[in-house]
Structure 1
Amino acid sequence: MTTFDTDGFLSDEISSWEADFENRYSSKLELSVAVNRLAHKMVYTIDIGSEDLSDLLLSTLLARQLSTFQGFVLLSRRGMIFQAEMLVRALAESMFLVGAICKKPDFAKQWVLGDEVSRKKALVRLNEDRRRRGEAPDETAVALIAELEKRIRDEGIIKPSTEQIAKLAGLESYYDTLYGFFSMAVHSSSRSLDKALQKDSDGKLTHVEYGPEIDGFDMHLDYAISMTLYVLHEIAAHFEKDVSEIEVLQKRNAELSGEAQQSVQSDRCEDAAPD
């Protein structure tokens, strides 16, 4: 049997941590299973025979949201909190897109066309790298860059930012709060790295913490579940599917979130109470 000391998060020993995680967050994990199954049900029942761009994008975004949600649950169960936070951010990005497409049907085409801007930038960077290595620029790429520049200019193509997409979806509060918070894990910010530094009672640094986490997942589970349910609800409504099962799960998630907040407040009161 491999141990965490030799194989880290890939060790057999991690299964004992998973058991602790399951006991700690049993209600949220049960809800996650229900959300996952409902999402699978929708993935296989949506009819995308239409060539409507919004239908195609929403169908693929649903599949992306579902697989990302599953990845989040798997990483969380192993106590990989920073990696799980990266996927919460990815769930938010998909949610913003779904919200924007459902609320502004014309946005689907704008978003797809915006990829031409990214395509041009990628080609420019590739040629710049060739120059740095002393190589001549790729002439095919040069011609394509000129073609893309003309199309972008003539058609007024712009690539909307994540913030702009969130605003179109009416989800700017999510962008201003959780998206920025979870972006710290993605970009290896100094604040997120600082969490790994452990100190003794005198405030002196002792070691870098490396291992499974079990605390602090209440908020992560809450947001991951709520954002996935939002995506399910918006897409179900778009395809004129029944949303009652989704709303039942949304209500349950709200109840569990309230219970978690009460528990945290109770713990804080106990900590503050005099001996």
Structure 2
Amino acid sequence: MSIDELGFLSNDVTHWIGKHRADNAAWFSFAERLNRLGQSLLHGLSVTTGEGQDSRLLAMLLFTRTLSNFQGAILMAERGMIVEARTLARSCLESTFCLAAMECGKEDFANEFRRATLQSRKARANFILKVPDRLQYTDVESADRLRAYAARLNEYPEDLSSLKFEQLAERVGLADMYLFYRQLSADSAHPSIEALCRYIGDAGNVKWGPNCDSTEIGDTVNIACHFLIGACAYINDIAQNDEFANSLGAHFTEYKELNGVK
């Protein structure tokens, strides 16, 4: 069926994938090579658990998420799904902030990350328990376990708080990168006026589908590559792979050349 009938789920999107890739060949080619580099490091990492390994495991999982989000961003970009691509690129940057924090203080951030997770669980449990009707589809035993769990979290000896990405970015020296985060939040990730205006055409009609500004596709791939390069640099501080570091340096040089930076 056609794009009008199925939207981005239509097989007709294949035509646009070819066009968008051809129009931005240099950026898609670079993204694929950078992705292969990231994959090569990922498969060389080993998951080790035990005392003193929590921070390493957390860093590896953060990098895995970053690489997966990057690949999703590229898949969305080639289809002309700009909003979705930029939202996934934003997720890449979130994990990159966390990886940077791991480099600055591995155990400290691992504990901070754990406390943020507990804070989220605490907020969700209390949200459910706040209104009794929310428990109507839960059996008595499960409801009792939830109450007991929420009580333990409410009495947790350590301060629990969510991650604040603005503060995190400033702490690790990436305040300028936080501007990307705010922009991607405003024009894509959040249902803001700025994001919604993407769906308005020049004639006042609804603008939607893969027939979009090809330049913005290249810009989005560019941004996603920027974030992945950072993530690769931070994870390699843990992996300590000299061959990877040299290859990443060459990729970064090429990235700057593509952006016209000497």
Is the TM value for this pair above 0.5? yes
Match of 1:192 among 192, 195, 201: 195
Per the alignment, residue 206 of structure 2 pairs with 208
Distance apart, 1:133 and its partner CA: 7.7
> Residue 160 of structure 1: SS of its match in structure 2?
coil
Per the alignment, residue 265 of structure 1 pairs with none
Per the alignment, residue 40 of structure 1 pairs with 39
Q: Is the 8 A contact 1:104 1:168 kept in 2?
A: no
Match of 1:156 among 148, 156, 159: 159
- C-alpha separation between the residues in 2 aligned to 1:49 and 1:134? 42
Q: Over alpha carbons, which structure has the higher Rg?
A: 1
Aligned residues: 250
Moved more, 183-192 or 71-80: 183-192
- C-alpha separation between the residues in 1 aligned to 2:233 and 2:136? 53
Distance apart, 1:122 and its partner CA: 0.3
- C-alpha deviations, 1:134-176, integer Å up to 9, x for none? 799933322221211111xx2233333122222232111111x
- C-alpha deviations, 1:47-71, integer Å up to 9, x for none? 3335311210111111111111111
Q: CA separation of 1:127/1:20 partners in 2, compared to 1, >3 Å: closer, same or farther?
A: same
Q: Is the 8 A contact 1:68 1:91 kept in 2?
A: yes
Per the alignment, residue 272 of structure 1 pairs with none
1:116-195 pair list within 5 angstroms = 116-131=118-133, 138-151=143-156, 154-175=157-178, 177-184=179-186, 185-195=188-198
What RMSD over aligned residues (CA atoms) do the two structures have, in Å? 2.0
Distance apart, 1:33 and its partner CA: 0.9
Q: Is the 8 A contact 1:53 1:109 kept in 2?
A: no
Identify which of structures 1 and 2 has the higher relative contact order when contacts are C-alpha pairs closer than 8 Å and 6+ apart: 2
Per the alignment, residue 97 of structure 2 pairs with 96
- C-alpha separation between the residues in 2 aligned to 1:77 and 1:199? 23
Q: Is the 8 A contact 2:92 2:224 kept in 1?
A: yes
Q: Is the 8 A contact 2:76 2:82 kept in 1?
A: yes
Distance apart, 1:38 and its partner CA: 0.8
TM-score by length of 1: 0.85
Code of the residue aligned with 2:89 in structure 1: it is V
Q: Is the 8 A contact 2:93 2:227 kept in 1?
A: yes
Q: Is the 8 A contact 1:35 1:249 kept in 2?
A: yes
Per the alignment, residue 62 of structure 1 pairs with 63
Per the alignment, residue 238 of structure 2 pairs with 238
TM-score by length of 2: 0.89
- C-alpha separation between the residues in 2 aligned to 1:135 and 1:218? 48
Gaps of 5+ in 1: 260-275
- C-alpha separation between the residues in 1 aligned to 2:155 and 2:29? 53
Moved more, 228-237 or 212-221: 212-221
Per the alignment, residue 19 of structure 1 pairs with 18
Q: Is the 8 A contact 1:120 1:149 kept in 2?
A: yes
Q: CA separation of 1:135/1:82 partners in 2, compared to 1, >3 Å: closer, same or farther?
A: closer
Per the alignment, residue 7 of structure 1 pairs with 6
Gaps of 5+ in 2: none
